[in-house]
Structure 1
C-alpha cells in the first residue's frame, strides 16, 4: 500500500524555518511498517504542484494536516484531490481537524479524522486498511458512515513511552536537504528540529496545547534524545538543534543528562530551546551553555503583572527579570515572545511592557502578536460563552479572529505600534527604527517574509 502525507498546505509559499516534523513522524511509522511513503511539504508546495505529485505517486492513502490557520487551503486541496483521486482513502489530522471533525466532513470528502496524538492511531488505521480490518475498532478516529452520519471510535489513550516513536522519516521528502530551511537566528545552519517532550505543565489562557496534548507533560529519555541528535549530526548533516518543546526544561535532571551526553559523545553542536521563566535556574542555564546552548525563548507576553495574572501565565515581572539576568550571566541569548490585546490591555500596560523590555534587554523579540482567538484555548471558550463568536465561524471563509471584545483592530494595531516604537526608541539609534518599519512592511506583505533573514533585529 502506498501512503502520501501532506503537511499544512498554505496559500503563501516561502522558505520555512524548519521541515514539517509532524508528518515526518507519521511517515516514519508508515515506513517502519513496510508502506511505501511520500511526504509533501505543503508550506513550500503550491496546491497544483501537490496534485501533480499525487498523480505521479498514485497513493492508496492520503493524509493531510489541518490547522486552524490553513483550513481554507486544506478544503481547496481536498476538493482537487477528489477530482483526481475520488476513491483514494482520505484522512485528516491536526489540531483543527481534531477539534472540529464534523466540519471536516462538511467541507471535504474525507473518510476519517484522526483525533489528537496520531502515531498509534495512524499505524492501526493503515494496518486495518491494508488487511481489510474493521476501522471502527481503531481508537482515536471519527469516521464518515455511508449515510453521511459520523461515528466516533473509542478515545485513544496518550502514548506514554515516547521513545517508542521512530525518528522522523525525512527521506520521504523528495530531495530533502536541511539546508533548504532557514533554521533559527544565531544558530549555525543547517538546523534540525527535535521534539523531546509533549504537553505543558502550565495552562495559559491563549494557548491550545492543553486541549491537544492534555494538562500533563511526557518526556523522552535522555538516551533517546541523544541518539536522535547523533543521527541528525552524522546522517542529516545538522550543525545545530532547536528543541520544539513547549518547555524543554520541565525536568531539570533530564536536561542535565542531555547536556552531559552531548559533551560525552563529543557532539560539536549549538542548540536553543523554549522554556518558562520559572523553569530555568542560573545553575541549569550555566550547564546548558557549557554544552552548546546559545539561545533560549521565553514567553514574556507582557510587562504588566495584571495582564500576566489575567492570562494565567504563572509568572511576574520579577520572575521575568530574574530569568533574563540568569540567561545573560550564563552567556545564553534570551529571546522574548510578546503579545498585544489580552483582556485589560491599555496604553499603561503597553508602557509597562516597554519598560520591562528595557530592563531585561532580550537579544531579540519574536514579534508582538495581536491576540488570536484560537479554538481549544480558554480565551476562545470565553468568547463563545459571551456570544462573541460560535464554532460555526470556522465553516465560513475568514482568518483566525482577533480578540476584539474590548478594542477594535485599529485600536489594537495602534497599541502594537506603540509597543514596537517604544522598544525601538528605548534601544536608541536609527537602525532599530528602520528595522521596525521594514518589519511592518514585511508583515503587511507576507509573501516577502523570506526577507526577514536580512532585516536587522530591533534589539541588536
Structure 2
C-alpha cells in the first residue's frame, strides 16, 4: 500500500526568532517518524516521507498529489496542530476518495479524541501512543477492507461517532524494531542542528531507550505512572546501528534518550565498546546530574563523546523541588565541573516561570548559571504541554495561553501566579546578555577555535546569541538587570 508520512510545512521562525541563526537552519532528524516508516517498509509497503521543514504548504500538497497514497499519516506538535489541521483539510479535498488520513505526535497523543472533534471529518483517526505497530495494523485493516474496531492505540470516527479503542501496550522489545529509515531523508546534510549542539556534519539522531523514570511536572510520558520504567535496546543492537550510521557517512550522533545514563552499567558498556571498536564518530548525550560520576564521564570522553547536557533548570533549590527534578544544586555543580575536568563540553538548560518562582528567584538562577560556568546555557520559559502534570493541574499554579502557537521555545505559554509574562521575557533576555556577553566567556570561546569548522559553527552561534543578548528595547523596560562584565 502507498503510505505518505508527512510533517506539515513549517518555518523555523515559528520556534526561533527570524533574527537568530536557527532560522537559517532546520532541526534534528525526525527519527520517530522514520521508525514508523521503517516498520511499514519492512512489511512491504511503499512509503514516502514528506518533510515540510524543506517545503512550502503547496509543495507538500503537490508531493502528495503526485504520489496518490492510500494512507496519510500527519505528525503534529502542540504549536503545529493548526498547520496539521489545514494540511488535512486541503488533502481531503484533493486526494482519492478512499484516502485514509490519521494524525499522531505529541499533541494528538495528549488530547486524543479532542483532535477528531476539532478537525471534523478531515481526519479519520488519531494514533494515541507509539505509532509503529498501530499504523501497521491500520494499513492491514485497510487492505482487508475492514474497520478499526479493536485496533489498540487509536481513536477513530465510525458513522459520525468518535470511538476510543483501548491503548496499545508500550513496545517492550525495542531490538525487534528495524532501524529508522534514514534513506528516506534525502540529503542528510540538510539537517543542521542548532548552533553549539554539534561539531561535525552530517549528524544522525539515535534513541537507545524509551521512557523516563523521573517525575518532572512539565514532561510528558506515555506511561504517566512510570510503572513501565525505561525500556532499553541491547548494547549490541545500539552498536550495530552506530556502525550502520558510520557506513552511511554520518560523522556525529546525537543520542536523544531522556536520560542516556539512567542505567549506569549499560551506559558504561556502550562507551567501552565504542572505544574498543575505535568507531570514527563523535557524539552528544543527555544525562541527569545524579546518574554520572568521573569514571563514566571519562569513559564517555574516551569513546568520542564531546559534550553532555545536564538539565540544571534552576539555581534555587525550592524551585527544583517544586518541579520534582529530584536533584540538588550541589549535584549540579559536581556533575558540571567533573564533566569539564575530564574534557567534555557541558550544556545546561534553565527554566523561568516555575510555579511559585519570583522575579528575584530568576535573578538568582542567572547568577547561579554564571558561577556554574557551563560551556553552553539556554534559558527557556517553562512550557506545560498537554498531558503533563502541570498542564493537568493548572488551576493550582497559574494560567495558560489558549493560543497553541505560544507553545514554542520562544513563547511564555504558562504564567505562574508569582510572576508576569513580562517578568519571564525580561529574565530570558537578561540571562542571555548576562551569560554570553561576559568577556571571560567570549575569550574562552575564542580559545576553543581549532579548525575552520569550529569557526563556522561559532559564527552561527554568535549570530543567534548576540541578537538575543542585544535586544535592548526589551531590557529597557526593566532597570534592575545585572551588569554584563565579570
Q: TM-score, normalised by structure 1?
A: 0.88
Q: Are 2:230 and 1:217 equivalent residues in the alignment?
A: yes
With over 3 angstroms needed to count, the CA separation of the structure-2 counterparts of 1:429 and 1:229, relative to structure 1, is: closer
With over 3 angstroms needed to count, the CA separation of the structure-2 counterparts of 1:171 and 1:213, relative to structure 1, is: farther
What CA deviation, in whole Å up to 9, does each residue of 1:77-116 have, x standing for no partner? 1111111115310011112111222232223321111111
Q: Quote how far apart the aligned CAs of 1:373 are.
A: 2.9
Q: For 2:307 and 2:333, how far apart are their aligned partners in 1?
A: 16
Q: How does 1:317-332 map to 2 (within 5 A)?
A: 317-332=329-344
Give 1:142's aligned residue: 155
Q: Quote how far apart the aligned CAs of 1:329 are.
A: 1.4
The range that moved more, 197-206 or 3-12, is: 3-12
Give 2:27's aligned residue: 17
With over 3 angstroms needed to count, the CA separation of the structure-2 counterparts of 1:425 and 1:35, relative to structure 1, is: closer
Match of 1:438 among 439, 464, 467: 467
Match of 1:245 among 247, 250, 257: 257
Give 2:164's aligned residue: 152
The range that moved more, 222-231 or 251-260, is: 251-260
| Bigger RCO of structures 1 and 2 (CA < 8 A, at least 6 apart) | 2
What is the SS of the residue equivalent to 1:301?
coil
Q: Quote how far apart the aligned CAs of 1:211 are.
A: 5.3
CA RMSD of aligned residues (A): 2.6
With over 3 angstroms needed to count, the CA separation of the structure-2 counterparts of 1:186 and 1:93, relative to structure 1, is: closer
Q: For 1:278 and 1:203, how far apart are their aligned partners in 2?
A: 14
Give 1:163's aligned residue: 175
Give 1:449's aligned residue: none
Number of residue pairs matched by the alignment: 436
Give 1:202's aligned residue: 214
Q: For 1:75 and 1:130, how far apart are their aligned partners in 2?
A: 25
Give 1:7's aligned residue: 7
With over 3 angstroms needed to count, the CA separation of the structure-2 counterparts of 1:376 and 1:153, relative to structure 1, is: same
Give 1:374's aligned residue: 385
Q: TM-score, normalised by structure 2?
A: 0.84
CA contact 1:8–1:67 (8 Å) conserved in 2: no
Task: Structure 1 unaligned segments of length 5 or more: list them.
Answer: 445-457
The range that moved more, 367-376 or 270-279, is: 367-376
Q: How does 1:9-408 map to 2 (within 5 A)?
A: 9-12=9-12, 15-85=25-95, 86-108=97-119, 109-146=122-159, 148-173=160-185, 176-183=186-193, 185-209=197-221, 214=226, 216-234=229-247, 236-365=248-377, 367-384=378-395, 388=399, 393=402, 398-400=405-407, 402-406=413-417, 407-408=419-420
Q: Quote how far apart the aligned CAs of 1:25 are.
A: 0.4
Task: Structure 2 unaligned segments of length 5 or more: list them.
Answer: 14-23, 446-461, 474-483
Give 1:422's aligned residue: 434
Q: For 1:361 and 1:427, how far apart are their aligned partners in 2?
A: 13
Q: Quote how far apart the aligned CAs of 1:435 are.
A: 6.6
Q: For 2:244 and 2:49, how far apart are their aligned partners in 1?
A: 20
